[in-house]
Chains A and B, each alone.
Chain A
Amino acid sequence: MTKPGRYGEFGGQYVPETLMNALIELEAAYTKFSQEPEFRAELKALLEGYAGRPSMLYPARKMTQDLGGAQIYLKREDLNHTGSHKINNVLGQALLAKKMGKKRLIAETGAGQHGVAAATAAALLGMECEVFMGVEDMERQQLNVYRMKLLGTKVTGVSSGTGTLKDAVNEAFRCWAGEADTTFYMIGSVMGPHPFPMIVRDFQKVIGEEVRAQLAVEAGRLPDCVIACVGGGSNAMGAFYDFIDSPGVRLVGAEAAGHGVDTRMNAATVTMGETGVFHGMKSLFLQDDGGQIMPVYSISAGLDYPGIGPEHAYLASIGRAEYLPVTDAEAVDSFEYLAKVEGIIPAIESAHAVALARKIAPEMGPEEILVICLSGRGDKDVQSVAKYRGENIHE
């Protein structure tokens, strides 16, 4: 980081003045509590005793054999409570909110994974919670809407703009601007104004730290390649962060290419985006000729975001990490592949990372190690994959 809140030219705090004090207060509180042994012990207890950490590092022997290249390991974030890596971040942020004396949590959600995790943390810690969700996404993810309600959270539909994740983020910021003194905004990814990208990365970096420790025991060495899917980029940043200073570890992000980067129906931000400012950060965004933020598309609602976290934009700009596009077709194929070969149904988001691994692993030697961050489980996606394959099932 070049200066606080900056990753090269990316990052920063591009928010209305009304929110500046809330960001300053958040950074001060985070700096204070994250260094306190008591806070760290409480968070550790929650991660281990509630979320189920450490998550397993599973040697995917059949996949390794099938692809005939690198030894493949799956970092099983799908086995966490609530079914994805999102729980790591919300437990940290909700605990921080509680320490700050905030009574109410708000969050945005796209597919509903972060919303469900936020609702879960709120229920556990006894806090009020409201989740903003685009009306389009609510329609596509009715099960997760019901889950959040079951957990005692209020789900507020957002119909402005395209009625999807970016609009939910807009609305969460608007809400926060009116009540930041009592409310904590739990952002769901390594995005937004400083200090959010730093805080979320810090709460997710446990993924990469565990991979390092687990592989040291298992293989006595570092991985050669780590692959993760990237929307805003929280599971990827969590998986990459501990390896950034280990130059021998290749870091690869799988971006959602939707119908393809040669169409307008994609969400491949690094491949197709330009530098801009949106949602409080300078980063890469998909924009039209007039600098308007473009509607994006992916079969995966969790990767369906027109931007990317600023630290990823930085890692891409200096060539430390690569970001490669994966289409809907490739992701669905890998969703089915992992189910059949390893008996694991991945989230459609994570299936993007599996798809890249299937291209990269065969080019690697059998002595090399490739780790896929399996960020979530795929139960939520079964219906949409069935629909993609032309089968109509009712849950």
Chain B
Amino acid sequence: MNRIDATFEGLRHRREKALITFVTAGDPDMATTEALVLEMIAQGADLVELGVPFSDPMAEGPIIQAASARALEAGATLPGIFDLVTRLRSGGVTETPLLLMMYLNCILHYGKDRFFEACARAGIDGVIVPDLPYGEQVEISGEARAHRVHLISLVAPTSRDRIHAIAQNSEGFLYCVSSLGVTGTRAGFATDFDAFFGEIQRHATVPTAVGFGISTPEQAKALAKYAEGVIVGSAVVDLVAKHGTGAAAPVGAFVKALKNAIRE
């Protein structure tokens, strides 16, 4: 069974919400990313997304854009990220799902089949591709399925008529975008969550997780009631930007606070 499915099933039995955290791989270097992943898992992250840096991350706000640029500047590459995942898997991270969040061009350039084969070999359980909407997923879905890597679908408040088809065809979990615009930290949300999640839950065939803009334990708690999981990215990356190679401790404390907030 894919680790993502197993993890959500375990959480459901324990009546817990999933905490999904994100870091940009290679920011500020691979050793720090490795330490961050271990610390986030130790402090309660149930799934971890590794951002693969791209020169032009169109769906990202300034925080992840800057992290992406720092990682590329420091020499991060996709093979280097697969090495990191291999190290994590052989170093004791056997159960926690690890996902890559990345732009389609990096997959195509690496070679679709070669990419998913490398994912499976290294121990990647799912891939999130922000510039591959439902309708274009056929681009890589065959290769992903052949190597049993989940292709995570995103659904947005503007998806309207598309929500049904996206939800019915999703695998792993359904990534519900909390608000319009790009990734980043937000003070508040304008989305009508009752209506949005009402529509999603009517059609969902896999667990849902809500992300984009969640930056405090209070926000995580408030949004956790709508979904089976909460995704926190930019707020973690912001701590890495501030603390650099010493980010593991503050990130760990933040992750612990997030997990406690959604546990209550």
Chain B residues whose C-beta falls within 8 Å of the C-beta of A285 in the assembled complex: 105
Report how far A166 CA is from B54 CA in the complex, Å: 13
Q: In residues 34-77 of chain B, which contact A (Cβ within 8 Å)?
A: 54-59, 61-62, 65, 69, 72, 77
Are B135's CB and A13's CB within 8 A? yes
One of A16, A22, A166 near B56 (C-beta < 8 A): A166
Q: Give the shortest distance, in Å, between B166 (CB) and chain A (any CB).
A: 8
Q: A174-B61, A276-B105, A291-B109 are in contact. Are A18 and B180 (CB under 8 A)?
A: yes
- Secondary structure at the B interface, as helix, strand, loop or mixed, is loop
- Chain A 13-46 interface 0/1 with B at a Cβ cutoff of 8 Å (1 = within): 1111111111000000000000000000000000
**Taking the complex as formed, is B177 at the interface, i.e. its CB lies under 8 A from any CB of chain A?**
yes
Task: Write the nearest CB–CB distance from A163 to chain B, whole angstroms.
Answer: 12
In whole angstroms, how far apart are the Cα atoms of A280 and B105 in the complex? 11
Q: Is B104 an interface residue (CB 8 A)?
A: yes
On chain A, the residues within 8 Å of B104 by CB distance are 14, 277
Interface size class of B (residues with CB under 8 A): 35 or more
Shortest distance between the CB of A21 and any CB in chain B (Å): 4
Contact (Cβ within 8 A) A17 B56: no
Q: In angstroms, how far is the closest chain B Cβ from the Cβ of A185?
A: 13
Inter-chain CA distance A167–B65, complex, in Å, is 11
Q: Are A293 and B59 in contact (CB under 8 A)?
A: no
- Let me know if B182 and A292 touch, CB within 8 A: no
- Identify which of A70-78, A119-127, A175-183, A359-367 touches chain B: A175-183
A21 to B161 Cα, complex, angstroms: 9
Interface of A is mostly: mixed
Select from chain A the residue with minimum beta-carbon distance to B65: A160
- Other-chain contact of B156, A18, A170, A174, A278 (Cβ < 8 Å): A18
Q: Is the CB of B58 within 8 A of A290?
A: no
Once the chains are docked, how many angstroms separate the CA of A165 from the CA of B180? Answer: 24
In this assembly, does B130 line the interface, its C-beta being within 8 Å of a C-beta of chain A? Answer: yes
Taken residue by residue from 115 to 152, chain B's Cβ proximity to chain A (1 for < 8 Å, 0 otherwise) reads as 00000000000000011111110000000000000000
- Supposing A277-B108, A290-B106, A291-B105 touch, asked if A16 and B58 sit within 8 A by C-beta, the answer is yes
Mask: chain B, 84-115; 1 = CB below 8 Å from A; 0 = not:
00000000000000000001111011100000
A313 to chain B, nearest CB (A): 14
Q: Pick from B108, B130, B135, B160: contact of A291, CB below 8 A.
A: B108
Residues of chain A having any CB pair with chain B under 8 Å: 12-22, 160-161, 166-167, 170, 173-174, 177-181, 274-280, 285, 287, 290-293
In the assembled complex, 23 residue pairs joining A and B whose CB atoms fall closer than 8 Å, in A order, are: A12-B136, A14-B136, A15-B58, A15-B131, A16-B133, A17-B133, A17-B154, A18-B158, A160-B62, A160-B69, A161-B69, A174-B59, A177-B180, A177-B181, A177-B182, A274-B109, A285-B105, A290-B106, A291-B78, A291-B106, A291-B108, A292-B72, A293-B105
**B interface with A by C-beta (< 8 Å):** 54-59, 61-62, 65, 69, 72, 77-78, 103-106, 108-110, 130-136, 153-160, 162, 166, 177, 180-182
Q: A17-B156, A17-B158, A291-B105 are in contact. List 4 more A-B contacts (CB 8 A).
A: A12-B136, A16-B156, A17-B154, A292-B55
